[in-house]
Structure 1
Amino acid sequence: MAIAQKMAMGLLERQTGSKGLPLASFAIEADLNLDGLPEIFAYRYAPGCDGVKCGNFLFVLEGDSYHEVLGDIPGARLVPQDKIALSPFKRNGFFDIQSDTMTIGWDGTRYVDTSTFPASTLDGAAFVAACQKSKLGEQPAEGEAEQAATACQCQFNRFQVVGFKQADLDAYTASIAGQDVEYPIGDKEDAWLALSKSAQDVATGCDVASGKSQWPLAYFDHGDKPQQKLNFGAFLDACPAQDFILTNHKIGSPDRALALCGCLAREIPTYGVSQDGLDLLAQYYRDEISDADVEAQDADLLTAHDKASEACLSQFPAK
């Protein structure tokens, strides 16, 4: 069984009270904030679906629990999948999503209709000038000036869409213009770093929208073997219930354990673990066999497991 489908089954049962995934249902992983630990998008089929216990669901790990984040958006459950697409732009760290005719964006805890976000009207002349200057050399090649103007205008437009304040835009403009900027420290430093990250995300989004670049994936210390198509069902049943998973200082809850185990399921095969090895680990997690038993059957398995665990835990979000 695929990883996303197995993870979604339990989350959907908790959300809807209905067990299993009917035919024509599916689940996929989508890393909406590019942290290396994907969210779970699931579609639960039901004839004549009313959008209550069926339709589209999106589960995001926030704190100790997975939260379903589409339920408060009118009609989002019933949008056909071919009318759902990721935007090239982020908002508050997560990609905007086109959901039929509506764009939904992350408000810090859930997805909402972006028309409910406050926009702003800014004076962008100084920013556009500084932005273009930062992109062009002393003697720009043919077409570069036009490309820079387009990119900078895109950024300015997006700053207004996401509600930048004039003071924030002016501070960011000064930083890219090479002016002497007294960067904040202490309590105000976090706000400045968040502003800079938001501005960088806007710039990347504009480059992606123009086809100039792609969003960089989160760094992950993968193994050097290709991912294999394995059955992860037994592994994902056993892993989240194992005490040494649950009691890890970064985990501490069943949902966080599930997220870590999903990561392990993705990563362990990249260290050369086969279906037999995965099934052996499931037995190990169920306390049916000891370390010595595992090593007697596969001397490299626990080493591969530990490397995958280290890679996943290094990326795991704080509570």
Structure 2
Amino acid sequence: MAGYLSETDFVMVEEGFSTRDLLEELTMGASQATTGEATAFFVADLGAVVRKHFCFLKCLPRVRPFYAVKCNSSLGVLKVLAELGLGFSCANKIASVISSALDLYFPEGCGVDIFAKLGRYYVTSAFTLAVSIIAKKEVLLDQPGREEETGSAPKTIVYQLDEGIYGIFNSVLFDNTCPTPVLQKKPSTEQPLYSSSLWGPAADGCDCVAEGLWLPQLHVGDWLVFENMGAYTVGMGSLFRGIQTCRITYAMSRVAWKALREQPLPAEQDEDAEGMCKPLSCGWEITDTLCVGPVFTPASIM
């Protein structure tokens, strides 16, 4: 190993214990805290980053990958990518097409270096966000005739979160997404579902995170979990909390950690092979230059 990442940088997840279990422990601890207000936080599975890198090396061994730091500049991600030699992986459905095209148009020995510079692939699925409900209100819907049919006036429940579209949930604005929360406790089939919407802390009437949801009755202090939140979210804390950013708890399975430690180090290059190492072009914060090592795909982590 190059020595960028150590076991003190993350929580080691043992066999049979998932990062979701860790997230539940952390939310429970935050809810039981007697001082301070519980704020949103991330749980990041660094093992997911490791797995995706090895997958890339297997599918596109001729492509030299570079990671776009602006996608997610959290220290844990940068350290694990430094250990891996920095990288990006394409989706499996297009990897074979890319490889064939490279062999056809740029055969080995033609003098062309091939690079890939992306970021979402590495970090999107590795990060899970937990956000607590800070306020709620019920709003009656103006639907004539419905009250006579159901015996009660139709309503929708508006939940307010401490993060909104001007912070972590900026993908609603820029990617036109509708984040769907995962409830920590699965509701029973007997629990009624209500028309619900999620809003951020802004008072401008535009800070809508998601609407058209059907959720059981939730309460202030309950936690909502959002998966696949690793890209362009870290460092985007709510503008209403100033420059404060969300806490990140890193985790990695013992299997992934073993595979990371056992990967071969990049071979030392002589002066004549100086071109084999390229400086990172997107603002690397840990090391000046990185080389991509030999293809290594541990069967235990694929």
Do these two structures clear the TM 0.5 threshold for a shared fold by scoring above it?
A: no
TM-score by length of 2: 0.22
Higher relative contact order (CA 8 A, sep 6+): 2
Structure number with higher helix proportion: 1
Structure number with higher strand proportion: 2
